[in-house]
Chain A
């Protein structure tokens, strides 16, 4: 028998200013219990609005979000109790000590005094915050503030965790720490929704990925299956001595969209069959300093989906323009 999804996002849209501004549009998908779902998209894609709709902080203009069979808006207190949400907003507890912030959050989630104290001590250790435990939040670094925020989210043992860009401002070691903690909670059965634009890190953690841009859901699938969609192609990264010449650029353009990565680095997605010919071309040019050919990553999948969406929008625009001019 199919398991009932934990969340069902049904055709959700949000508009502001009497419909003039669209935050998101017609988004539908489900979130299963025990999975880690990544919400990927650039800044301003509409990820945070969607999350706020899921936790019933923002009411959709159209559609609904169902949690365990009921609309989240009708049971927002239950959602607040069972879903711990880490937002990007500045922390409300900046005038408290780190220890107080985590402990009070546990108490406000309904924990008794003693268990809240014990869990606070454990989290301070896990998040490597023991040294700053008695400092005010406003007097610690941005990264430590983030970690404290994660502590205030993790305390209380909610069944679902939503993290909105949890690793911003963190150094690589602390990022690893956060991903480990998230995975640890997930292994114990918790469901995790992870909003991020850091695709490379998310790839290590998430089970499924939803790609969002311009307020619309572009794709949702398991990471491996999404990769499979572009798997017939290989990723070729080319480094040149200085900017690539017109001749080289023209020759490579015939192989697909050349995405510049920096002044002297570009990326090209090519078919497996075409690889030997491309290698011959690259070897021909002395300006080609180095190249590598590897299978695509989640980042490539993301750019592929995003590029397809852009070309679709361009085509639509051209059709509309054609129709408007009476063509």
Chain B
């Protein structure tokens, strides 16, 4: 009997294959939104922009601390929409449409697929996040102190929120439930945790809940970083964000199976 056809043109370097896999998976993921990206981006920015303007019209003579809270809160609001909502709904859609069957039938590492999704989440979240910073400065007439530490801090902030979105998308038992859950979570995290309001103004139950979501640490660190630059407290918040990123990443890897469904 003849031997099966064996293609000898395979990549032998595992590093090259890793890079190729992540890059191709990212391009596939990015292709899903490449045509609607400007629209998604505008729609995702409208909500925080409207909130920013609403608070601008609503507050009379706000203090600088209030202004920074409003602007950073809306930057995070934009991130929650793009990084958590859009990512969770998009991945949930792919899951329930059976797209994972295609990926699972290829010899790719799940970690690379997740990494490609995190990368896509970061790229789509980045513009809204920064536009809110610049629009906020312009509307309120203040100037932030931009430092080198902003780069790792923002990266960790986006990764932790996107990680939550990716996890919810992979976990999704059905699309309707996921949509409802992320819409609800978006409102709760944005308005009932210390993203736009002070921790001390919240009831004790919401204060406890706030410690469980990464945006609490992101908001606190971002306020300090943009107002005075890197401080010990910013470092602590960065560590918390790193921890959230690692936990969400580990949970996705360990708990979500795309082959051998139970």
Contact = CB atoms under 8 A, between A and B. Distances in A.
Given A87-B105, A189-B2, A189-B5, A56 B259 contact: yes
Interface string B85-103: 0000000001001111111
B259 A76 contact: yes
Contact of B98 (A80, A87, A95, A105): A87
Nearest to A59: B260
B7 A157 contact: yes
A95 B262 contact: no
A191 B3 CA distance: 10
Interface residues of B, number: 40
Contacts of A157: 5-7
A214 interface: no
A161 B259 CA distance: 18
A112 to B, nearest CB: 5
| Residue from B10, B27, B35, B106 with most neighbouring chain A CB atoms (10 Å) | B106
A81 B107 CA distance: 5
B104 A57 contact: yes
B10 A112 contact: yes
Interface residues of A, number: 48
Given A59-B260, A93-B28, A157-B6, A109 B98 contact: no
Interface of B: 1-7, 9-11, 17, 20-21, 24-25, 27-28, 31-32, 34-35, 94, 97-109, 258-262
A90 B28 contact: no
Interface of A: 33-34, 55-59, 73, 76-78, 80-81, 83-85, 87, 89-93, 95-96, 100, 104-105, 107-112, 114-116, 119, 152, 156-157, 159-160, 185, 187-191
Contacts of A34: 1-2, 4
Listed from nearest, the 3 A-B pairs whose CB atoms lie closest are A89-B98, A115-B9, A157-B7
A90 B105 contact: no
Nearest to A185: B5
A84 to B, nearest CB: 7
A185 B2 CA distance: 11
A252 to B, nearest CB: 46
A95 B35 contact: yes
Given A57-B259, A93-B28, A104-B24, A159 B6 contact: yes
A89 B97 contact: yes
A152 B97 CA distance: 18
Contacts of B94: 92
B4 A159 contact: yes
A187 B2 CA distance: 8
A80 B1 contact: no
Contacts of A57: 101, 104-105, 258-261
B256 to A, nearest CB: 14
17 contacts: A58-B261, A80-B106, A81-B107, A87-B102, A90-B97, A92-B99, A95-B34, A96-B28, A108-B24, A109-B10, A110-B107, A111-B9, A159-B5, A187-B2, A188-B2, A188-B5, A190-B4
